[in-house]
Structure 1
Amino acid sequence: MYTALVPVDESETRARRAANVVTSLPGESDELNVVLLSVSEKKQQPWFTEAEINTTEGQPDQSVAPESVDVAYEILENHGASVEKRYEYGDPPKRILAVAEEIVADVIVMCSRRQSPTGKALFGSVTQSVMLESQRPIVLLMDE
C-alpha cells in the first residue's frame, strides 16, 4: 500500500491539480491510500466553526467543509484509490507534518500559491515550512 497525504486549502483548482498528480503516481490504483487533509488555523475558518457546531458522533460535520476537498475526493475515488477526508485545526505546517508522521505517508503532495518575498516574510508560508521540516518526500506544484 502506498500512502499519499494531500493537504487541501479552499482552492478547488489547487485541489484538482494535486489530486490529478496523485492519480499519476506509479503503481496500481487499488494499492493507493490517500488522506485529504484540510487544516483550519485556530478554528477561524467559517466552515470549521460550522462543522464543530454540527457534530456527529464527536466528529465535525464534513458536509460544511470546503468544496475543494470534495473535488479532490471525487477525482481520487473515481481513480480507484482508497480516500479518507480529515479535518483538523491548529498550526497548518505542524498539523500537516504530524498527520504525515501518524499515517506514515510515503509522499506529501502540495499545491502552493505564489507569494511575494514580502508576503512570505510577513505571513510565512505553509508550503515552505513543510518543505524545510519534513523528513518525507514532497511533490510540490506551483499555482499556474
Structure 2
Amino acid sequence: MVILAAVSESEQSREIALEADALAAAFDDEVHLIHVTDESEYTRTVERQSESRQEGSGDVAEAAAAEAVEDFLEELDAETKVVSRIGTPGKKIVEYADEVDARYLVIGGRSRSPVGKALFGSVTQSVLLNTERPVVTITASD
C-alpha cells in the first residue's frame, strides 16, 4: 500500500515526509510525495518561460515537485515516488489518494484565525472534509 504525503516548498515538508516514512516503515508500505501546483501559478510560470524563450525547461509541475523534495528525499528509507499534479491542491490530493488507495495521508497544517479560515480556505481543511481515509496532520512549530 501507499502512504501519501502532501509536500510543498515549505520547510514543514521535511517533517511531513519523515512522518510518512515512519508510517511506511511500520506498515512496510511505500511513500508517495505529492506536490500540487495550482493552475494560476502553473500558467504564470509557463508564460514567464515563454516570454524569456526558455527551452528544454521540462514540465513545470514536475520541476516544482522535484524542487520541493530535493533537500530531504535522500533521508527517506522507504521506496519513494514523487508525483506532481496541476489544479486545486485539496482536490488533487484526495483524488490521488483514492487513485492509489492510500492507507494514510500525511499533510501539514498551521494555526489560523477563524476569519482567516473563512476568507482563505485551507488545503488541510479541504482534505480533512473530503476524504474518508485516515489523515495525519503535522502542525508547524513556531
- TM-score normalised by the chain length of structure 1: 0.78
Equivalent in the alignment of 1:97: 94
Equivalent in the alignment of 2:5: 6
Task: Say whether the 8 Å CA contact 2:105–2:133 is kept in structure 1.
Answer: yes
Where does the alignment leave 5 or more consecutive residues of structure 1 unmatched?
A: none
* 2:69 matches 1:69: yes
Equivalent in the alignment of 1:41: 38
Equivalent in the alignment of 2:15: 17
* 2:135 matches 1:138: yes
Q: Distance in 1 between matches of 2:130 and 2:61?
A: 31
Equivalent in the alignment of 2:114: 117
Evaluate the alpha carbon distance shift between residue 45 and residue 133 of structure 1 in structure 2; reply closer, same or farther with a 3 A threshold: same
- Pairwise CA RMSD of aligned residues? 2.7
Where does the alignment leave 5 or more consecutive residues of structure 2 unmatched?
A: 50-54
- Tell which structure's C-alpha radius of gyration is larger: 2
Could you list the per-position Cα deviations for residues 78-102 of structure 1 after superposition, in whole angstroms to 9, with x for gaps in the alignment?
x2x1111111110111100000011
Give the letter for the 1:142 counterpart: T
For the residue of structure 1 that corresponds to 2:99, the secondary structure is helix
How far is the alpha carbon of 1:43 from its aligned partner? 4.3
Task: Say whether the 8 Å CA contact 2:37–2:64 is kept in structure 1.
Answer: no
Evaluate the alpha carbon distance shift between residue 72 and residue 107 of structure 1 in structure 2; reply closer, same or farther with a 3 A threshold: farther
For the residue of structure 2 that corresponds to 1:120, the secondary structure is helix
Same amino acid, percent of matched pairs: 33
Q: 1:45-56 maps to which residues of 2 (within 5 A)? A: 45=42, 49=46, 54-55=57-58
Q: Distance in 1 between matches of 2:71 and 2:33?
A: 11
